Structure 1
Amino acid sequence: MKNYNNLITKYKSQLEKDPRSKVFAPLAEIYRKVGMNDEALALLKRGLIHHPNFSAAIIVYGQLLLEREEIEEAYTVLKPQLSINGDNIKFLKLFAHSCFKQNLILEALNTYKRVLFISPKDNEATEFIVKYDNFDSIENEDLTQKTFDISNLDDEIESWSTLSLVPQVKEEPVVEDKPKSEPGQIFSHTLVDLYLKQGAKQKAIEVLNSALAENPEDQRIQDRLLELEGQDEISESKGREDLMAAFESTAKKLEQKPKVELEKLTMAFELFESYLKKRSSEVLNG
């Protein structure tokens, strides 16, 4: 196990000099890594009183709670921070894990879609969306029994020591940031591509339509929507042509049939044609 004694001594000394210092977050992370979980929790709770929206501390706190299987508490801690940390991939993945652990699949799914929006090549987000996008079909499955490894959320501890957490002058009174407004429709062309790879063209079209409503001047969205809808029209047209060709072929064969049999087939064809018109009217009129 790595020796963190020097860092622990350094951070504790800084906290003794200034109890409001933000070094409580990296110190708590060290405590978590070496298994001093109770000390880490106590330190985080004290520090978050002074810095309630400090993202680094919230992430350590949430990860620690998940590791201790305090799932509901982790969700309760992370949920209010979503609007502030909506562009923080590490936070979003941690929140998605807390949702998944409680079988809140839709919420986890939407969170991973946000990750994919920020980082289109993120494998974890892509795999989750592919697996659970049609979660209605697995709604009754007990997903909380699945193992979810959160160890990949760890960063090297050296990254904490490079942060500017210890100003040389006394800190000014904390002015909390105003929460950022959450985007309504999480959209990326990667999500459209993902739906198309799954063969869910209609979902891709729905996503593009929603995006176009919010960004009516976006030429790329317009082009992709026209392309997909155009494919449907071509497919529809080809279907009609194939049907008419089949009718013509059948008509030629009917000319060679005896008159009585021909009358029966004509009657059957008229009934079939009547059904097609009725069905077409139902579809067109909703």
Structure 2
Amino acid sequence: MTDKASLWAAAKRFEGILRSDPRAYSFMPLSDIYRQLGLLEEALDTARNGAALYPDLAGGQMALAKSAIECGFKDEAVKALEAVVRVTPENIEAQRLLADLYMSTGNSAAAQSCILVANSLDITFSDEPFVTASSNEIDLPEEDLLDADILELSDELIEDDIFDDLAQPFSASPQRPSLGDDVNRAEPFLMDSPPPLYEQELPAAEQQSVMVSATIAELYLKQGFPEKAVEVYRDLLASDPLNMEYEKRLMELIQPENALSDEITGTPPDGLLDKLQAWLGNIGRVKECRIKSL
């Protein structure tokens, strides 16, 4: 009873903030509170209004997606989650929710891409299949899975502090505030300073960028874009000339006698190339921000 009373008190506070400033970020926690109280229509309306004001705010689109899912508006939820992963492709929760929704509509290729990216980012992920609400429907052929060497590379590159150190690519995307925070104007998530010396180990966020880039290169290849995979591996090798794994993989892809068709499965789904390029572009912006901060 006390918890519910606390939720109502917090809801009243955020409602007051929004009345005084309709452009405040407090629509995000307010929508979440409404969902916890079972006020699903109010949660959805609040999230819709806020997301309309801030279409590039990942937290706002996430609030909209969750409310839309609970209200049964799958198409609206998909659109909101796609907006989230365009801005923050490293958002594991968004990738997995999107995979669930894609599977529920029969778009298994897009679901697979989301799951692979999410698993490559998840520090707790093992080789066991990722389980979602619709995971029992996933039956992927072995040749569609990422190569073992890329998965091993991902495991080596991921560290426990990845997400604490990760810089958001858009300053307009703040962390969602807690109920006790002043959310009238939430501060954007700020980038930590990387180690000053190049001899030191790569920062966790930069390690993640490298790992995700390699993963997306493999997705390019699997989905029928070998030339894009070659471009990514060339960039990775240029940034790390002594990396034998990158050199080996690049040689495998560009050797004329190498039958790339053995690694390419099916026809690329519509829009997949644009999606992969958008993810790669956002990852590149994270790396550029780190370089500029030196």
Give TM-score scaled by structure 1 length: 0.51
How many angstroms does 1:84 deviate by?
1.1
Q: Which of the residues 233, 236, 244 maps onto 1:222?
A: 244
How many angstroms does 1:160 deviate by?
2.6
- The 5 Å alignment of 1:192-203 reads none
Q: Give the total of aligned pairs.
A: 183
Which ranges of 4 or more aligned residues in structure 1 deviate by more than 6 Å? Answer: 207-210
How many angstroms does 1:103 deviate by?
2.0
Structure 2 gaps, min length 5: 145-175, 187-208, 219-227, 253-258, 260-294
Structure of greater relative contact order (alpha carbons < 8 Å, 6+ residues apart): 2
Aligned to 1:85: 88
How many angstroms does 1:26 deviate by?
0.5
Q: What amino acid does structure 2 have at the position aligned with 1:72?
A: D
Give TM-score scaled by structure 2 length: 0.49
Distance 1:219 1:122 in 2: 30
Compare the two structures and name the one with the higher helix fraction.
1
How many angstroms does 1:33 deviate by?
1.4
Aligned Cα root-mean-square deviation (Å): 4.3
Structure with higher Rg: it is 1
Identity of aligned residues (%): 16
Aligned to 1:63: 66
Aligned to 1:11: 14
Distance 1:135 1:66 in 2: 31
Contact 1:96 1:112 in 2 (8 A): yes
Aligned to 1:212: 233
Aligned to 1:277: none
For structure 1, which segment, 7-16 or 212-221, has the greater mean C-alpha deviation from structure 2 after superposition? Answer: 212-221
How many angstroms does 1:41 deviate by?
1.2
Change beyond 3 A, Cα 1:52–1:124: farther
Distance 1:107 1:51 in 2: 26
Distance 1:162 1:115 in 2: 30
How many angstroms does 1:14 deviate by?
0.8
Aligned to 2:185: 167
Change beyond 3 A, Cα 1:58–1:224: closer
Matched, 1:101 2:123: no
Change beyond 3 A, Cα 1:77–1:120: closer
Matched, 1:24 2:57: no
Contact 1:116 1:125 in 2 (8 A): no
Change beyond 3 A, Cα 1:26–1:133: same
Distance 2:114 2:127 in 1: 9
Q: Which of the residues 119, 128, 131 maps onto 2:130?
A: 128
Distance 1:214 1:19 in 2: 45
Q: What amino acid does structure 1 have at the position aligned with 2:86?
A: S
Aligned to 2:37: 34
Structure 1 gaps, min length 5: 138-157, 169-182, 193-206, 231-282
Distance 1:125 1:29 in 2: 33
